[in-house]
Amino acid sequence: MKYERETLEEWDDAHVWHPFTPHSVYRQEKPLMIESADGHELIDVDGSRFLDGVGSLWCNILGHRREELDRAVSEQLSRVAHATFLGNASVPGVVLAKRLSDLAPAPLSRVFYSDSGSTAVEVAIKMALQYWSQHKPGEKSKRTRFLSFGEAYHGDTIGSVSVGGMDLFHARFGPVLFEAERCQSPYSWRDKSKGDDKLWLELASRDLESVLERCGDQIAAIVLEPGMQGAAGMLTQPPGYVKRVRELADRAGTLLILDEVAMGMGRSGSMFASEAEGVVPDMLCLAKGLTGGYLPLAATLATEQIFEAFLGPPEEGRTFFHGHTYTGNALGCAAAIATLDIFERESLVDGLPGRVEAMRARLERLRNLPHVADIRQYGLSAGIELLKDVDSGEPFDSSERIGVAVCLAARDKGVFLRPLGDVIVLMPPLTLSDLELDKLIDSVAYGIETTLQVNK
């Protein structure tokens, strides 16, 4: 049955509660009503097409309606959609675990599934805590705290918000969050370094070092989004920082959890950001692009050493006490296997540096536009920060919703974007063509120019 747009909008307004959406302005900010998609484009109920400039919120990495992915999911559907993974196995879940552990750097050889980026981090936190509580039998561990970073975003569940660093969330949910040790965002030192990467690295590292000197022996794990803090506003890190964090974690004898929910699966320009940074974490969190953006599936990869601390007779209670009903969902795992197949068949990773450079070259154009304070790129993702006064650093009043306005103007050029405040976010599919990249960047330039009423 075909529904009229008016009917759908009426029902949407009457019955739907959208995530991260101020409903008082929802309709006036012209939400799309998507009906289908084709390649890198979303198609609304009127048949209008929009280039998916944020990969349907950072997860669509290979385009929509990929024949191989469609086929993999429908073939799996003809066998079984879901069977429990609790104390049981099903074929795609096992195959995907083997594929992921072959792909991830040794010794990350164990795969624990869940359903979202938030749960991937939540699982890592609980795993780290339980690991320390039982890794030395008969010894009570002091390692019960977590160290995370200012501005960090690791998801929306209570545990993942606790290790996040966004004031807005902490103000709302503070009373039920656990207290984490916190360093400043590595980005916060950039200004103080006056653009000197080495100094920036030293300042950010020293901050972490001082927290670890004070309480490193109580830290169960350091939780970091490597390369770029995405939802924080696309905040970059100085080159070598992730390596330094690994060294400092080792020196403090603690674990390192890398949250690659956004930057994993090719986004960084390598398969994994940790790989790009030459670092192996103790736990690696994957979600968003894992299924090519098709289905909700997440994986927390852990080392064999961590896994072994959970072994013992059942009555000793060393079992990992966590699991969701849809853990290891067969359709999601089939989509993820097909995603990895595409990476392999098309040697996608080999082509990424070229894509990253193509984006870098085009982003340069935007630098000279008024109100563009900064352009931050990491791999195939970028944030274009708009300020009211670039020189003084004065932001636009948040009630102006400049970021939203720029993205809405870009929509006129057939591109769909969703900003983070006044940072215009680009997270296109990794398979974007040069022509589509042109269109993406042109639309942002147009959006900035028309919204901020600048004559060319």
Chain residues in the site for ligand PLP (CB under 6 A)? 116-118, 121, 153-155, 225, 230-231, 259, 261-262, 287-288
Place of tokens 């300020």: 387
**Residue 151 Cβ, how far from ligand PLP at the closest point, in Å?**
11
Q: Which is it for strands 145-149 and 181-183: parallel, antiparallel or unpaired?
A: parallel
Q: Phi, psi at residue 335, to the nearest 5°?
A: -65, -40
Closer to ligand PLP by CB, 288 or 376: give it.
Answer: 288
Closer to ligand PLP by CB, 143 or 154: give it.
Answer: 154
Judging by beta carbons within 10 Å of its beta carbon (0-12, 13-18, 19+), is residue 44 exposed, middle or buried? middle
**Residue 453 Cβ, how far from ligand PLP at the closest point, in Å?**
33
**Residue 121 Cβ, how far from ligand PLP at the closest point, in Å?**
6
Q: How far is CA 82 from the centre of its chain?
A: 26
**Residue 156 Cβ, how far from ligand PLP at the closest point, in Å?**
6
Rounded distance, CA 428 to CA 57, Å? 9
Closer to ligand PLP by CB, 42 or 263: give it.
Answer: 263
Q: Kindly tell me the sign of the dihedral angle through the C-alpha atoms of 160, 161, 163, 166.
A: positive
**Residue 216 Cβ, how far from ligand PLP at the closest point, in Å?**
24
**Residue 164 Cβ, how far from ligand PLP at the closest point, in Å?**
9
**3-class secondary structure, 382:** strand
Please compute Rg for the chain using Cα positions. Answer: 22
Longest dimension (CA), the chain: 73
Residue nearest to ligand PLP (CB): 117
**Residue 429 Cβ, how far from ligand PLP at the closest point, in Å?**
16
Which tokens go with 336? 């993820």
Closer to ligand PLP by CB, 150 or 216: give it.
Answer: 150
Closer to ligand PLP by CB, 290 or 363: give it.
Answer: 290
**Residue 419 Cβ, how far from ligand PLP at the closest point, in Å?**
15
Cβ neighbours, 10 Å, residue 17: 6
Closer to ligand PLP by CB, 326 or 396: give it.
Answer: 326
Closer to ligand PLP by CB, 116 or 130: give it.
Answer: 116
Amino acid present at 130: Q
DSSP codes joined into one string, 13-64: HHH---TT--TTTTGGG----EEEEEBTEEEETT--EEEETTHHHHT--S-B
**Cis ω before 107 (30° cut-off from 0):** yes
Give 101-129 as a 3 state SS string.
HHHCCCCEEEEEEECCHHHHHHHHHHHHH
Closer to ligand PLP by CB, 104 or 261: give it.
Answer: 261
